[in-house]
Chains A and B, each alone.
Chain A
Amino acid sequence: MGINVTKDSSSNVVTIVIAGRFDFSMNSDFRKILSDPDSSGGSYNIDMGGVEDIDSSALGMLLLLREKAGGDSANIKITRCRPDIVEMLKMANFQTMFNIA
């Protein structure tokens, strides 16, 4: 449950592992990551393999991360989503803003 951040300094890739319900309850943890210079990198991998559900505030958090990572030039991969989560991300047209693998 919750959010875990690791950074590979040689490749400058930040991996954010999220599990459980990705909703407003993760807001403050997520914002901490956004403001922490140690979890800043050239590209991001968001591992959502353990995410059971997302809501619109989760989408908002992803947008905040995207802005931090450079907006339109951001390099963010969202990986291992369950099919129903992919469906929700696609409904929000997030496949045009994120790399959903």
Chain B
Amino acid sequence: MKILIAEDSQLSRSVLSSILAQYDYTVIEAEHGQEAVEKYVEYDPDVILMDLMMPVMNGYTATRKIKELAGDKFIPIIVITSIVETSSLTESVESGADDYLNKPYNAEAIHAKIIALSRIKTLHDDLRESEQKIEKLSKQAESELLVAEHIYDFVLDKGHNGLTNVRQYMRPVTNFNGDILLTAHTPAGGFNVMLGDFTGHGLSAAIGAIPASEIFYQMTAKGFSIGDIVTEMNQRLQKILPLNMFCAASFIEVDQERTTMSVWNGSMPDIIVTDAEGNMINRVASSHAALGILTPEKFYRKIDILSLQGDERVYMCSDGVLDARNSESVKYSLKSYLRLFENNKQCPVGLNEIVDDLFSFAENGEVNDDISIIEVNMDKKVDSWHADNKDIIGGTRITTEWSASISFDAESLKHTNPVPLLLNMVNGINVIHGHKERLYTVLSELFTNSLDHGLLHLDSSLKSSPEGFQEYFMQRENRLNELTDASISIDMKQRCIDDDWFISIDVKDSGDGFDYDKTRASLDNNEGLSGRGIELIKQICHSIDYNQAGNEVKAMYSFSK
């Protein structure tokens, strides 16, 4: 250990030096304050013994200068005084001295003070080291958070240019959210909404948000149903996220005509459906594990299907809402949330009223989790989607004649939905902006009719009541599972006739045929399985014809219509 002695008396210096030498300290000597400062810089001693009255620079000034040079590093300085003079002691402590010694010197006392002060120095150094480590870590965390924030903003930005019929309140706990909202139109003019809540915040949440949003936007654009989307998303998140991380999520899928809503709720609070007055008419509680937990074999994609009138509103929220606490640490809870939608209230509840109620409850309390509340308005008038956007149709370029035949046997019908695949094929050969939605509608309607009525013999009149709705889809699932020896063939031909381009779509099933007129009538009544029906197809297509048996339909679609 190195001890610096600043003392102008030659005699005093040698007495001190010989005492310190007994304890094996290395001694550095300075004759005045100025020299003490210089030797401090040169030798970096562990403890300094400082006389007060010295020529050139006195001990007070030297102490102050050395403490300044040391910055946040601790250098113990012991002042040496000949008489106990309270005023000089106070002044030296004010200059930065840490302790004092009285002359004449006592070897034991000097040694004890040096040990005590170097112990404090060790503590101080350790503390400083961990402070620096913490500071470095917190800077690192801060910069990672910035990266995550950038990723998140980028991901969420794509959601923002989405739907005019979706309103949101999102309040993050940290400077950005572990909750994500994704919204997009389907090719057929319906829309999908996903509200997700990742475990944790920051970078860990952003890691999952990237693939989740990619899957959502890409699969929605290709016309996949939310059942397909949640299955894919679960599989991907399960693969990439650590075991203890997952994404609670609620999904809704609504068709263009607002006749049905498919719902998948995995570990999120109840999804509420209200009528136009804000009274709750339905709610869908969680019946699934969060995404990213279950292996594909264990994952359950079952969705709930509700029928709609077209004037409802749907509310989705993250569990931060239910977990918000008031000043007595009582949770807001599902009960308070549901009470907002009760029938006997004075004025209709909406997004603003929910947010107000929550925060007047949690005022002076604590909010520990991200808060997201989403309102989806089913009124078509507030949705910006238009099928006949002429600007978009201008982007169509069709130059080739082609044809394709594809057929599906019972097994492949159980596992694939060919409609997105077919649409992708047409879209891959041509540039068909603006026709995509309508072609999707035609393909999906013709295919669904062949499968549901031609092969599965389902009765569409079932769908006229909400209970029947569920029944219809249960029957559909059961009969599809039992289907054998059946097939659907689809032929598509693109031709140019008198300068106009057409695509003919021929769908034939192996069933006995069904009563086209009867089915048409019932479809007209309740707008069919996905809310479109044959009438809509007739409007979209140049022509539509069933064969005599009723197991083959041919639609002509004109690109110039």
- A interface residues (Cβ-Cβ under 8 A, vs B): 55-57, 59-61, 63-64, 67, 72, 84, 87, 90-94, 96-97
Contact = CB atoms under 8 A, between A and B. Distances in A.
Nearest to B266: A93
Given A91-B267, A91-B269, A92-B267, A56 B248 contact: yes
Contacts of B243: 60, 63-64, 67
B286 interface: yes
Interface of B: 197, 199-200, 243-246, 248, 266-269, 285-290, 293, 298, 319, 323, 331, 333-334, 368-369
A92 B286 contact: yes
A72 B298 contact: yes
Contacts of B286: 90-93
Given A92-B286, A93-B286, A63 B293 contact: yes
A60 B244 contact: yes
A91 B199 contact: no
Nearest to A90: B286
Given A64-B244, A91-B269, A56 B289 contact: no
A67 B246 CA distance: 15
Contacts of A61: 244
Given A72-B298, A93-B288, A96-B289, A60 B267 contact: no
A92 B298 contact: no
Given A57-B199, A60-B199, A92 B244 contact: no
Given A64-B244, A92-B290, A93-B288, A57 B200 contact: yes
Contact of A91 (B246, B285, B368): B285
A16 to B, nearest CB: 16
Given A64-B243, A72-B298, A92 B200 contact: no
Contacts of A93: 266-267, 286-290
Contacts of A91: 267-269, 285-286, 319
Nearest to B333: A84
A55 B245 CA distance: 12
Interface centre among A56, A60, A94 (most CB of B within 10 A): A56
Contacts of B368: 55
Contacts of A57: 199-200, 244
Interface centre among A64, A87, A92 (most CB of B within 10 A): A92
A84 B330 CA distance: 12
A87 B199 CA distance: 18
Contacts of B285: 91
Contact of B289 (A55, A67, A92): A92
A85 B245 CA distance: 20
B369 A60 contact: no
